[in-house]
Each structure stands twice: as C-alpha cells, then as structure tokens.
Chain A
Amino acid sequence: DAKTTQPNSMESNEEEPVHLPCNHSTISGTDYIHWYRQLPSQGPEYVIHGLTSNVNNRMASLAIAEDRKSSTLILHRATLRDAAVYYCILDRDDKIIFGKGTRLHILP
C-alpha cells in the first residue's frame, strides 16, 4: 500500500490558518492525493484531492510539492467545528486505505 506520514496531532487557534503536512515519498505518477476528515462520532468525509496542481474548494486548499513527495492541507480560517482527525491518503487501485491521520485540536 502507498504509505503516507503525518504528525499524530496538531493544535491551532480558532480563526487562524492551519497547515496540515503529509509526506508521501513513495508516491507513483498516477496516485491521487486525497484528504478526508473524521469528526467525532461520525464517518469520514471527503475534503479535497489533487494530482499535481494546487487545488482549492470551499472547505480547504491543497498545496502539492513540485516533486509530489509531500503535500499540505490548508484550512484558511479554523473554527471549532474543524476539530477532527485528518487523513492524507494516496489513491491506488481505486481503494482508500487509511493511515493514522493527524488529530487537529482547535483552541478557542
């Protein structure tokens, strides 16, 4: 399975930007980079995905390194509702395999 490495946990202050890093040094040319998050007591939900170019949507931005060996999920203005476990995942063989993710704590 394609492996990603994320910090176990991070903290951020409310209403400030959050940068969640992910390393994926073994990424192959056709692997998409996906981010999902899991709010407490809920199933995971899609956040964003990308291949080579940076991506923006209403939830977040995804910055992908030029060599594609790392990426960063950016929450532009964190709220308390963004407290969740964030998973960085490489899509290979049309399967989403979850790693341990980063638990994001938002401080009021």
Chain B
Amino acid sequence: SAVISQKPSRDICQRGTSLTIQCQVDSQVTMMFWYRQQPGQSLTLIATANQGSEATYESGFVIDKFPISRPNLTFSTLTVSNMSPEDSSIYLCSVWGVTGKPYEQYFGPGTRLTVT
C-alpha cells in the first residue's frame, strides 16, 4: 500500500488569501489526484497532477484558482487562491499506480479548510 501525508491537516484562513496544501507519498506513483469534499457531500475531482507538466483540470475548476505542482513522482501541492467561504472543504490528495497494487487508489487523510 501507499502512505500519504498531507500538510496542513487543517487551517482557518481569511477570505482573499491563498493556502498551499502539500501531499507526500512514501513511494513513487504513476498518478496523483486532488479532490475536494464539501460538508455532507461526496468527493469531487479537481484535477490530475501530472509530473513535469501542467495539471489536467476537471470541468468547473481552473488553474488560476487551483494551481497545482508535481515536481516529482512522490510530491504534489495544491494552492487554493483568493479564497472565499465557498472554498471551505476537505481537500484530499489521492494516488494511483502503487507498485504491486495497480488498481487501488489510495487517499490521504485530507486537509480541512475553513474560510472566514
């Protein structure tokens, strides 16, 4: 399996500011994803973080609002820019393509963001 850590685990931010969330995996993985889960809702895929190139965003999400970096096969960051209260969510990093477990997707513990 893969062990995924996220920093910070939670934060309270002022509207108009930005927060960068880090995701670290303990092994090299093929694919990394960012999801958000709003209170009481299911998970929504934000984007696929591509190593060495620009992320691929899902409909409704744009790079200016959610810039993503993936400098190597074990690390990615998601920035939530110019935050508003509607951005209050849990943000989860996920990976796919762990050696020996090609069909299992693993999820980090999440970053709980509250925007005031």
Are A95 and B48 in contact, CB atoms less than 8 angstroms apart?
yes
Tell me the bound Cα distance from A94 to B106 in angstroms: 14
A70, B5: Cα distance in complex, Å: 35
Chain-A contact segment, one of B12-20, B37-45, B63-71, B81-89: B37-45
- The B31-90 residues at the A interface (CB cut-off 8 A) are 31, 33, 35, 42-45, 48
What is the CB-to-nearest-CB distance from A5 to chain B, in angstroms, rounded to a whole number? 14
- Output the least CB separation between B3 and chain A (Å): 12
With both chains docked as a complex, state the minimum distance between the C-beta of B74 and any C-beta of chain A, in angstroms: 18
Q: Does B113 contact A (CB under 8 A)?
A: no
Cβ B45 vs Cβ A45 within 8 A: no
* Chain A residues within 8 Å of B106, by CB: 46
Instruction: Report whether over half of chain B's contact residues are helix, strand or loop; otherwise say mixed.
Output: strand
**Residues B109 and A42 in contact, CB atoms below 8 Å apart:** yes
How many interface residues does chain B have, given as a range? 10 to 19
A21: interface (CB < 8 Å): no
Query: CA A34 – CA B102 in complex, angstroms?
Result: 13
**CB closest chain-A residue, reference B35:** A98
Contact A96 B105 (CB under 8 A): yes
In the assembled complex, A100 has its CB within 8 A of some CB on chain B: yes
**A97 interface residue per 8 A CB criterion:** yes
Least distance between A56 CB and chain B CB atoms (Å): 15
State the A residues within 8 Å of B (CB): 32, 34, 36, 42-46, 49, 85, 87, 94-101
